[in-house]
Structure formats: C-alpha cells, structure tokens
Structure 1
Amino acid sequence: MPVISTSVLRNAALGAAGAAVAGIGYASLIERNAFVLREATLPVLEPGKPSLRVLHLSDLHMTPGQQLKQAWVRELDRLEPDLVVNTGDNLAHPKAVPSVVQSLGGLLARPGIFVFGSNDYFAPVPKNPMKYFKKDHKRVFGDPLPWQDMRAAFTERGWLDLTHVRRDIEVAGVRISTAGVDDPHLKRDRYDTVAGAPNPLADLSIGLTHSPEPRVLDRFADDNYDLVMAGHTHGGQLCLPFYGALVTNCGIDRSRVKGASRWGAHTQLHVSAGLGTSPWAPYRFCCRPEATLLTLVSAPPKKPIAESDRGITASATVAR
C-alpha cells in the first residue's frame, strides 16, 4: 500500500479549506447580490383576452443598509407591469419599512395585491441550518416587526391586502377574481374564510399565499383557481449543480421550489425564489435572488364536452 506523505495530506486539507472559504465568499458577497429578472409566459387567461404583465416580488428581507438591493428593486418600475403581486417577507429589521416603501417607489402607484409572510410579523433569529432538513422542527420567533406600518403604507397607495379576503378587480381590461390567506408557515392560514369558486364572470382567478403548503394549494386547486402565487422557499437558497435545491422549507417537493408548475388538473403554481435572505444566513449558491415578470396569455380553448356528458356537467353546475 503506498504511503501518502504528511505534506500531501496537509496540502489537500489546505486546498479543501481554501475552496470552502472561496465558496462561502462567493455565496455571501457575490451571488447574494447578483439580482436577476426572470421572465415566463403562462397560458391562464380566458380565450381572446389581452395579455397581462404581472410582476411577482417576494422575500425582500429588507434591512435599511441594503442600498444595492433597494436601488435594483426601484428600477423594476421601468417594466411598467399591469399588476404587482407581493407574496410577503418584506422585512428583516424593525426600521426597514421606509426602505421597503422607497424601494418599491413607483410600483406602489400601480395596481397591486399582497399577503404577509412570517418575517413581516417577526424578526429573523439565528438558527441551526440543519433544522431545515427536519419539517417538524420547533419554530423560533424573533421580536415583533412593524407589519401594520407596512400594511398602511401599501394600502394608502392603493395596493390590496388579500389576507383572508376575496376581491374582484379589473386591470388593463382583464377582470380578475383574487383571494389570499395568511402565512401557512405560521399556521395562520384560514382558507375557509375565502373558500369557494372564484367569480365565474372573471377572466382570471389568482390565489396568494406566502408559503406554498400543499394543504393550501389543494384548496385553491379544488376551487378551480387559474393561478396561485407564493414565495418563502428562496428557491432552496443553497443549491447544487445538476441536483437543485437541498430543501424547500415547506411541504412541496424540490422540483417545485421555484418557477412555474402545474398543481392539480387546472391550476398553475408560480413560486418566487425571492430577492433576499435572512441576515443570519446571508448567502445564496446556484440560486440567484430574483423577481419575475410573468406574461399571462390566453389559454387554449377547453376540450368540448362530449354529448353524453353534457347532462352530467350541467347538473353538477346547477348543484354547485
């Protein structure tokens, strides 16, 4: 058996340590601030309707000193979206509300809808990262955050708080039936308060939740919502090449940790990887911080109902 010299082992250990330090430096100093705009097209509108541009923002986890992030978010208004959707976790500091409001800037003058996340209510705290691999780990909450001040700033400028509320709105000539729940990550969701099919006269239906927990997604899908939007996952935050996210921090599988996917027979799900991180875990790897510009277009015409099925379908509609 060949003998490996001490110097070789020492050099190998130093090389591994150097690679680890370089990886941490890249994840915390470079990729965490390498903001990117994703774009996707979703066929969810009624046939014949004009396309709709929807900007999806989530998980800013803002602190007052994050000037680079604030400047990047402020520039998003140039996209001129028809609708802005914010799926929570905007705050990471008790004095961050002005920074969030100033960053959103002109976007607050556009039609917008939002729900809250856990880090709108409570400040982040240091955690053992291994706990994320246990879905039943005990939650630890920090000091309360001024979510009421942020809500007031949003609603005073016209954005709609969809926390356990159903609202019908019209945006760019498209009638939208909307509903939302409070954060399932904190077990604050009360879907029964918004349960039921969306307005059948609407051209589009959108459901909002911060954490994409299957129990909530199932309810939206059962009620036949066209699109459900969520955040919370950070896209995994730490991902591996050719493997993807290590964890989702919720009940969905890793393949749905970010981007668009189908949930159920009819509903499209869009999960944002978000723009921030906890101040106690300031790194991203193979998972750049993002906002998403969704172009919603007409869905293909639904398959005609067979003659033999028409009576059954009509009967079910009347019963509903």
Structure 2
Amino acid sequence: MDTIEQQLEARLGRIHARQRLGIEAEHGHRVFGRGLNFFHPENWYSAHALIRFAIQLVGMYERGQSNARNLQVKNNRIHLPHLPQAFHDFKILHLTDLHVDMDDRNLAALIQTVAGLDYDICALTGDYRARTFGEIDGAVAGMQRLITTLKQPVYGILGNHDSIRMLPALESMGVIMLMNEATTLEKDGAKIFLAGVDDPHYFRVDNIQKAARDIPEEAVSLLLSHTPEIYRLAAHADFDVMFCGHTHGGQICLPGGIPITLDSKCPRYLGAGKWHYQKMQGYTSVGAGTSIVNARFNCLPEVTIHHLLLP
C-alpha cells in the first residue's frame, strides 16, 4: 500500500477510500456504463476534438472562448423561516466546475472576479480538474493559485472529474473537505449546519445518511452535492437548502439558454439556477469553467453569492 492510500484510509475509512481508488483504477472513466447514467460524454475524448473542429469550422471558437471568460456574479436570495437572527444575510460564495487546468486565461479571469467579492464563507462543489483521469498536478497547482485569493473558511467536496488523490493537497491548502460529513457554522452563539457528500454522479460514493447523522432535526441545514441528481434523497433527509453544479447549464446552449444536454439524470428544471423540491430549496450553478471544449454559447459562466435571509 502506498503512502497516499494509507493517508486516504486514515482520513475516509477503509471502505470509502478503497471504493474511490478502485473505481479510479478501472482504466480511467468509461464512456458507456458505470455511474448513475449510462452515457458519460465528458469521458469521450475522441469526441472533444470533433466538437472543437465543428465550432472552428463555423468561425465561432474564439467567441466561445471569450464567452468562457465572461464570468457573471449572480446573487441568490434564500429565505428561511427558522434561520437564527445572527445568520440573517449570511453570504456564501458558491464556486463549482472550475476545471482550473483547462485554460489558464479562464483561471485568471476567475481569480480576478472573486478577488473583490464580499462573503462570509466559500463553498466549492467539485470538478477542479479538466480531464476525468490522469495526472492531478496541473489541477492542484491551479487550485493553489485560486485558494490563496479566497477568504477563509473555504469548504469543499469532490466531483466526477476529481481524483481522490487530490484530497490531501486540497486539505493542506486549508480547504475543509466534507466527505459525507457535516460541520457546524457558528455566529454570535447561534449555529447552522453545512454538510457535503462525495460524488454521486460517476463514483456513486455519496452517503447522505452519514452526512446528516449529527445534524439536529430542528436546525438549519445546507447540503453541498456536486450534482442535483440526489435532490429527492436530500429533500427527504430534511435538508433546507442544496447547492450543486455539474450540469454547466448545458454550456453550449440554443438561443434563450436552452441546453442541448445537461448530462444529469434529473428534471431539466433543476439544470440551472434556483429551484424547489418539496420543502427544500436548491440552486444549480452553471459553473465557472468549461468541460469537453473550452467554449460557451448562450450560457455564460458564473460565480454565485447566496444570501441566507429571514422572511
């Protein structure tokens, strides 16, 4: 057993660590089969060049790349009747699907965008690496550049593009990783709870029961999930709010922001922006980065500030 495996087993437990490492070792991610969905276009690398060529052929690639650096700062208001007074207008900076090693210009634009923002905590909902397998050094270096510009505390989870071998590096940067775990947020003697699950989309190593185990029933609880696909489980586990990403909002959309595909097994209304299911509120960010090809059309990238508010 190598050192990283020992570290991961000590951090996550033997079963969780071996599940993640074992799936990663199965000759990289698969295009067909595995995961929650049957088809995984993010793993079909021969198609990436074809899509890029088609965009270049119609003379739109430079515009698509420029769009990918045109980050929007969104503000989302979340009203919670039982929110403690101390947390009124508590601000959460939500970053997702960063793919920091895709294009250095995208990362530079992201760093510039977040540098002057006002928030209380930052939440990262996964997909820090561009590819779904292979080396992690580029993604780790990119995340190091970003993390140094973010205000602490920073909380995070992993996505389907991320290797579990990135976990020690992220935690060494000061990111509080929530691997099917919860933590307490305290302010002026009041408490709310923030939980996070490991990737539910491809690796399927999420465990909501474990993440919610120590959260009091009456407390305000927030969940970080890479994908909205587990929205029903989260709602019936009594989470008040769920923050997620993964879909990129389609990334390459028809006019009006209509996604061609969302690569997510959930209703299309969960694909981008604010939504509700049962008593739970949710938000699916379209993400700050790009996947498959470094271009966006009719779906600009975003960083989101969530404001927790009393009614």
CA apart distance, 1:146? 4.4
Residues 233-262 of structure 1 show CA distances to partners (whole Å, capped at 9, x for unaligned) of 101111112361122111122222111100
Read off the aligned partner of 1:162 and give its amino acid letter: L
- Establish whether residue 293 from structure 1 lines up as the match of residue 305 from structure 2: yes
- Establish whether residue 283 from structure 1 lines up as the match of residue 295 from structure 2: yes
CA apart distance, 1:89? 0.5
SS at 1:235 equivalent: helix
- Establish whether residue 25 from structure 1 lines up as the match of residue 62 from structure 2: yes
Which residue pairs with 1:36 in the alignment? 72
SS at 1:275 equivalent: coil
TM-score normalised by the chain length of structure 1: 0.70
Which residue pairs with 2:47 in the alignment? none
SS at 1:120 equivalent: coil
Which residue pairs with 1:318 in the alignment? none
- Kindly indicate whether the alpha-carbon contact (under 8 Å) linking 1:240 and 1:286 is maintained by their aligned counterparts in 2: yes
Read off the aligned partner of 2:208 and give its amino acid letter: Y
Q: Aligned pair in 2 of structure 1 residues 37, 18: CA closer, same or farther (>3 Å)? A: closer
- Kindly indicate whether the alpha-carbon contact (under 8 Å) linking 2:208 and 2:237 is maintained by their aligned counterparts in 1: no
Q: Aligned pair in 2 of structure 1 residues 251, 102: CA closer, same or farther (>3 Å)? A: same
- Kindly indicate whether the alpha-carbon contact (under 8 Å) linking 1:58 and 1:272 is maintained by their aligned counterparts in 2: yes
- Kindly indicate whether the alpha-carbon contact (under 8 Å) linking 1:71 and 1:103 is maintained by their aligned counterparts in 2: no
Which residue pairs with 2:108 in the alignment? 70
CA apart distance, 1:113? 1.7
- Kindly indicate whether the alpha-carbon contact (under 8 Å) linking 2:182 and 2:214 is maintained by their aligned counterparts in 1: no
Q: Aligned pair in 2 of structure 1 residues 71, 105: CA closer, same or farther (>3 Å)? A: farther
Which residue pairs with 2:191 in the alignment? 175
Read off the aligned partner of 1:254 and give its amino acid letter: R
**Alignment partners' CA distance in 1, 2:287 and 2:182:** 25
TM-score normalised by the chain length of structure 2: 0.72
Which residue pairs with 1:52 in the alignment? 90
SS at 1:286 equivalent: coil
CA apart distance, 1:71? 4.6
Given candidates 116, 119, 131, the residue that maps to 1:81 is: 119
CA apart distance, 1:172? 6.8
- Establish whether residue 254 from structure 1 lines up as the match of residue 268 from structure 2: yes
SS at 2:249 equivalent: helix
- Describe how 1:149-168 pairs up with structure 2 within 5 A: 149-154=168-173, 157=174, 159-168=175-184
Given candidates 152, 156, 162, the residue that maps to 1:114 is: 156
- Establish whether residue 104 from structure 1 lines up as the match of residue 147 from structure 2: yes
- Kindly indicate whether the alpha-carbon contact (under 8 Å) linking 1:198 and 1:223 is maintained by their aligned counterparts in 2: no
CA apart distance, 1:210? 0.5
C-alpha RMSD of the superposition: 2.6
CA apart distance, 1:32? 1.4
Q: Aligned pair in 2 of structure 1 residues 291, 276: CA closer, same or farther (>3 Å)? A: same
Given candidates 184, 200, 222, the residue that maps to 1:184 is: 200
**Alignment partners' CA distance in 1, 2:91 and 2:270:** 22
Identity score, percent: 27
**Higher radius of gyration, 1 or 2:** 1
- Establish whether residue 220 from structure 1 lines up as the match of residue 263 from structure 2: no
Residues 241-294 of structure 1 show CA distances to partners (whole Å, capped at 9, x for unaligned) of 236112211112222211110012x1101111111112x411111011111011
Q: Aligned pair in 2 of structure 1 residues 244, 20: CA closer, same or farther (>3 Å)? A: farther
Question: Where do 5+ consecutive residues of structure 2 fail to align?
Answer: 1-53, 131-135
User: How many residue pairs were aligned?
Assistant: 250
SS at 1:95 equivalent: helix
- Describe how 1:305-320 pairs up with structure 2 within 5 A: none
Question: Where do 5+ consecutive residues of structure 1 fail to align?
Answer: 1-16, 122-144, 300-320
Q: Aligned pair in 2 of structure 1 residues 65, 233: CA closer, same or farther (>3 Å)? A: closer
- Kindly indicate whether the alpha-carbon contact (under 8 Å) linking 1:31 and 1:288 is maintained by their aligned counterparts in 2: yes
- Establish whether residue 148 from structure 1 lines up as the match of residue 164 from structure 2: no
Which residue pairs with 2:287 in the alignment? 274
**Alignment partners' CA distance in 1, 2:285 and 2:124:** 10
CA apart distance, 1:99? 1.9
